[in-house]
Structure formats: C-alpha cells, structure tokens
Amino acid sequence: MSDQTYKQELARDRNQAWNSHRDLRKIKEDMTLKGTLSLAGFLEITDIFFVFGLAGAILKDILDLTLLGSIPVIGTVLTFMASGIIAAGMLITGSRKYKKKASGIASIMKNKWGILGAGTIFEFLFGLNFFPIETVTLLIIIHLTLSQRREAAEVKQEEMTMETKDYG
C-alpha cells in the first residue's frame, strides 16, 4: 500500500467517524425540549393522522391501567388495533428518500418501523403493559419523522448552495 493510498483511507475513516459523531450529537440535541420544539416548523397537514394514532395509543394505555387491556384476548386485540392505527398514520404521512445515509446508532434510531415493532412486542409482556409504551412509541416516531424532515431540508439547502457556488 502506497503512502498516498494510506493517507486517503485514513482521511476517509476520520471523516466517517466525524460524521457518525455529528449524527449522535444532533440526536442528543434533538432530544432536549428546545430541540423538540424547534421541529414544530416541519409539521405537515398529513400529520393530523398521527393524532388518531395518539388517541388510540392513549386509549389503549388507559385500558391497560384499568386492567381491561390485561385480559389476554382483549389486550392482544387492543395492542394490534393501536399499532395498526400508528402504522396507518406512518404509511399515510409517508417517508422521505434521503441521499445522505446515516451510520451506526443513527440509522437504527431512524428505523421507525423497528421502533413500532419493538413497542408492540413490549406491550405483550405482562407487567410492562401497564406502562404507556404505545404512547411513548408514537411520540418517538413523530419526533424521528420531524427530525428526518429537517435533515432532508438541510440536505436540500446544502445542495442548493453547492449549485449556486458552481455557477457563481
């Protein structure tokens, strides 16, 4: 391996590590109250469907607390209904195509379907179903959706500034 190739690979590895660190730092900043409130500007009209999912999740969690949701067949049906409403909201609001791929923990955190699946599985575990897992799952999904919209807007802005520099 030549010295030049080694330096190029080293620079590439450092750049990937820096981008991964930057993604984690951005996730940490988003999880603060200020970061969450700053995402409100990325709400769209189709996000109204998340309200239905939130109502279903809250109702399901209340029924779990009243022990009605803990009855095996009824609890299973309620869990599937609440998760189905959330999944329908996710399908209706859609997903953006991103040109910039996240790596590591950031890519796992952006997998909204995985989060929904994990929340649904936790709802089936006796003892844990008394916690508002379905509601928290939906709030995380909404937060990630808005974060992805902001990221898409930032990427689009970067592309526009690059195009103006090329023509400038």
Q: What ranges do the domains of the chain cover?
A: 44-157
45, 132 Cβ separation under 8 angstroms: no
Task: For residue range 62-72, list pLDDT tens digits in order.
Answer: 988 888 877 88
Task: For residue range 85-137, list pLDDT tens digits in order.
Answer: 888 888 888 754 444 555 555 565 558 888 898 888 888 887 787 889 899 99
The radius of gyration of the chain from alpha carbons, rounded to an integer in Å, stands at 20
**H-helix or E-strand spanning residue 56:** helix 48-65
Structure tokens at 41: 């500007």
Q: Inter-axis angle of helices 112-124 and 72-93, to 10 degrees?
A: 170
SS3 assignment, position 137:
helix
pTM: 0.69
